[in-house]
Structure 1
């Protein structure tokens, strides 16, 4: 199932809808303003919180956390010591690790688990600069978590470029 992420570049609080390939609203990203740290809520169309995404307050490298039900589900950060391309790592609470690799800057990358592609993030289908697709490859994959990981990587890359 493909999900289309269209960010509204000038929206107050970074709020936007994520639609599925049929054009139906699948998730709402609610940017929480007036918070100590960058916080986003990923909600289903009914308003139930699927995941809370926020920047870790104290860390040596930029790190984002994905929480569900008050517990940390995933920790996302740039992987150290990669030679040719940026690689991000999404460490699950269970200790398992997902790799985010490909052309991160141009949004042409995969989220993989042990070499198996779970999702493909791609901008190639869109002419708008602020839109990309998250194509969830496996039916048993947690689409909300994979979309949240893509949003985290997007935020981390954006912050890294702002610092440069």
Structure 2
């Protein structure tokens, strides 16, 4: 099942921001969220703020984990853990572990940078990373009835994990 009806968002990195700041725009180009990358957190935490500047969600990396793991908090409550699956050559796969039995899975192609998020075999969101722009931009479509903050937080966890992997592969990396 493809996402037919739903909400469309664009997550766009701010060009001259210190840290990793993003704006989240709706389908009309209006800013609905601001993502503050917390420059001194070593890319371990981002805060999602509403239009009034109030924190509505956050994503932070678990420092001690066997594989890349990020926690999403919405309204101060733990909403999900996003964990990268190990040993998935040529594909990225993440489990989005939500309370209860209905976990989500995010999977995509390393080369195409196109991702889908599925729940119980149904596609609930699609994510496209556009490489032809100067800064990172994600187009995100979220199915009706799915919490957009959970999906946006999952996309930010994906971005944090991919960025961390790229930094770990840099020549001369000693830690």
TM-score, normalization by structure 2:
0.82
Count, aligned residues: 162
Give the counterpart of 2:45 among 39, 42, 52.
39
- 2:35 is aligned, of 22, 29, 40, to 29
**2:88 pairs with 1:100:** no
Structure 2 stretches of 5 or more lacking a match? 1-6, 170-175
RMSD (Å) for aligned C-alpha atoms: 2.1
Aligned match of 2:162: 157
CA distance in 2, matches of 1:37, 1:132: 18
CA shift in 2, pair 1:105/1:148, >3 Å: farther
Q: CA deviation at 1:83?
A: 5.3
Q: 1:83 to 1:31 in 2, by over 3 A?
A: closer
Structure with more relative contact order (C-alpha pairs < 8 Å, separation 6 or more): 2
Q: Is the 8 A contact 1:78 1:88 kept in 2?
A: yes
Unaligned runs of 5+ in 1: none
Aligned CA distance change for structure 1 residues 151 and 105 (closer, same or farther; 3 Å): farther
1:95 and 1:117 map into 2 onto residues whose CA distance is 17
